[in-house]
A and B are shown apart, each in its own frame.
Chain A
Amino acid sequence: MISREVIEDFLYYEASLLDVPDLDTWMNLFTEDGYYWMPAAEAQRDPINHISHVYDDRVMMEIRRRNFVHPRAASKEFNIRCSHLIGNIRVMPAEPDAGTEIPTGAVRVTSNQHVVVWYRDEQRIYAYRGEHVLVAVEDSFNIMSKQVMLINPDAAQRSLTIYL
């Protein structure tokens, strides 16, 4: 079993990239078929037959990254900075979802994350339960999936121009 300390270091590193934000480096933490998912309902299990706030694979992450730095993207003209605070980290063996293959040694990590976002001259706060599936590579990890389960997924949300 991989130690929680090593996992914690990785989650802190991932969060530091989103805090800046440095989407180029962050994206490359994901495996080629990795995805980022923010459901729009409590206990939502299906990203395809139910609406989500976001469900991005690497192709969509790349389009979003290019849009994020585009000089004519009006909603991206403001400085955006985040502060992630991570706690309640738990590590368990990954269990495959239907139809997916999980390599030996992959782990499922849950955490509580509080994110303060500075955007458009205003601070906002988000809270979510994160669920990462991580696979070990060399001396670090790759992200097979990251689920962001907001405590208020069905609330009216405001524009969010950054991954949490």
Chain B
Amino acid sequence: MTRVTQATIPDRNFDDLVTPTRIHRSLYTSPELFNLEMERIWGQAWIFIGHTSQIPNTGDFFTTNINHNIPVVMVRDKTGEVHVLHNRCGHKGAKVVETRTGNVRGAFNCAYHGWRYRLDGSLLAIPNEAGYEDTGFDIDDRCNSMQRLAQVACYRGFVFATLSNKAPDLLTWMGGAKDCFDNLCDRSPEGEVEVAGGVLRYEHECNWKFILENLNDTMHPMVVHQSVVQAAKSYIATLPDDAAKQRSEAEIILPFGSSYTAFENSGITGFPYGHHYDGGKTSIHANYSVMPEYHAAMLAAYGEERTHDIYSFNTHNVLFYPSLTIKCAVQNIRVIRPISVDRFVVETWSFRLKGAPDEMLQRTLLYSRLINSSMGMVGPDDLEVYRRTQEGLASPSNDWVEFHRQYGKDQVFPDRVVGGGTSDLDMRTQYKAWKAYMEGSIFNGGAQ
């Protein structure tokens, strides 16, 4: 079977751009490096595509790009299997599906010459097919189909795909970060989540890597977000006690002002392939009130001890490098898609915990709206400092961006690296992976 072939990655080492404690500023400013990243990082890693709850019925589809420009479609066939296909007609190359979501009745139908495809991407029919007789055209050649991606896999409803047939299986690639998907889903009394309440899309006028670096940069919240914390704190203090207690906004916003000590104690854990999270035993989401009705449903489903264990694993941001970050305790995720060297889009999706009362989804949506919206209380200040960094790095005064904090103090275990919550361990983890992807060694031991 013909597969989409991957460009051969030439040997080139990136020692001149990435060291264990710093990276060259061109990683954020060079269009050539951006194009290489799209081929070597986004073209090899498992990329988050969507969630099976978005396509419950036969023919339901969801479209996205797997990197900055390669269009794909996730679709459920009549046997219930979920496919991720290249959204490209096998004939002249037109995108076959144009809308973001919808349902295909029967077969995909190309708008240009009417070629039709089954829901698994195979070619079903060509109008006036007789014209191809004795021309050497092979209707069964997979290159004439809507081709499947090299690998597709699903874990607890989260669908990933990769353009590389060399990538290890999804669970191997996730490593210990997989626990975070388990924790997110186990927070449902039924052990399942579903996409709910719509999507926020937020354009960022800077390099895509800034948001990944910021997720577990715990030295910034008390600086970047001090204004909103102070604004909220000063006003809430003027409210009567019972009115203040009813405001979920307070427990969402105020922890962004947590101390260096609090963030230090939350810890950071890094994994092969660039994944990492901060928190675990505690995080800025650890002190949310537990809704009584939800707690009762959890106890009924899991019993006291297991429920306690599920609540006790409390991470802040988990990064599945490079395309997805999830918040288990909040039940939202952010999906990253680069556009160009200085532009990307973040999508915030919210999840319903099946079997939990509606108030849980409402709190998730409140969080997404307050924090992640383009009109939010936190997101615009983060983006502002990314943009200043993008603009500042045009300066030739210093070619390097450093990440020395607590270097040499990381505790190395066979499957993970653990360090203090304010360390730059997250930077070291992701740029080790960045280098291995770019050098072509990521699936030959370079991830370790």
Which residues of A are at the interface with B, using a C-beta cutoff of 8 A? Answer: 38, 40-41, 44, 48-55, 59-60, 62-64, 66-67, 70-76, 154-161
Task: Report yes or no: A63 in contact with B231, Cβ–Cβ below 8 A.
Answer: yes
Q: Mark B354-395, 1 if CB is under 8 A from A, else 0.
A: 000010011001001100011101011101110010000000
Task: Report yes or no: A157 in contact with B365, Cβ–Cβ below 8 A.
Answer: no
Task: Report yes or no: A63 in contact with B377, Cβ–Cβ below 8 A.
Answer: yes
Which residues of B are at the interface with A, using a C-beta cutoff of 8 A? Answer: 196-203, 205, 224, 226-228, 230-232, 234-236, 239, 247, 249, 253, 345, 348, 350, 358, 361-362, 365, 368-369, 373-375, 377, 379-381, 383-385, 388
Inside 8 A of A53's CB, which chain B residues have their CB?
Answer: 200, 369, 373-375
Inside 8 A of B385's CB, which chain A residues have their CB?
Answer: 74
CA distance A51 to B195 in the complex (A): 12
**Shortest Cβ distance from residue A159 to the other chain B in the assembled complex, whole angstroms:** 4
Known: A63-B232, A75-B381. 10 other contacts (CB 8 A): A40-B199, A41-B198, A44-B198, A54-B373, A59-B239, A62-B235, A64-B231, A71-B227, A156-B201, A157-B375
Task: Report yes or no: A66 in contact with B384, Cβ–Cβ below 8 A.
Answer: no
**Shortest Cβ distance from residue A33 to the other chain B in the assembled complex, whole angstroms:** 13
**Shortest Cβ distance from residue A50 to the other chain B in the assembled complex, whole angstroms:** 5
* 10 residue pairs bridging A and B, Cβ less than 8 Å apart: A40-B198, A51-B197, A59-B247, A70-B228, A74-B381, A75-B384, A156-B202, A156-B203, A157-B374, A160-B374
Task: Report yes or no: A48 in contact with B227, Cβ–Cβ below 8 A.
Answer: no
Task: Report yes or no: B228 in contact with A54, Cβ–Cβ below 8 A.
Answer: no
CA distance A30 to B249 in the complex (A): 20
Task: Report yes or no: A59 in contact with B369, Cβ–Cβ below 8 A.
Answer: no
Task: Report yes or no: A51 in contact with B374, Cβ–Cβ below 8 A.
Answer: no
CA distance A18 to B249 in the complex (A): 25
CA distance A156 to B243 in the complex (A): 35
Using CB atoms, name the residue of chain B closest to A54: B375
Task: Report yes or no: B228 in contact with A67, Cβ–Cβ below 8 A.
Answer: yes
**Shortest Cβ distance from residue B412 to the other chain A in the assembled complex, whole angstroms:** 36
Inside 8 A of B226's CB, which chain A residues have their CB?
Answer: 72
Task: Report yes or no: A73 in contact with B379, Cβ–Cβ below 8 A.
Answer: no
Task: Report yes or no: B365 in contact with A51, Cβ–Cβ below 8 A.
Answer: yes
The listed residue with most B CB atoms (<10 A of its CB), out of A51, A52, A161, is: A51
Inside 8 A of B199's CB, which chain A residues have their CB?
Answer: 40, 51, 154
CA distance A155 to B247 in the complex (A): 30
Inside 8 A of B197's CB, which chain A residues have their CB?
Answer: 49-51
Inside 8 A of A157's CB, which chain B residues have their CB?
Answer: 200-203, 374-375
Q: Evaluate whether A60 and B368 lie within 8 angstroms (CB atoms) in the complex, with A40-B200, A48-B362, A72-B226 already known.
A: no
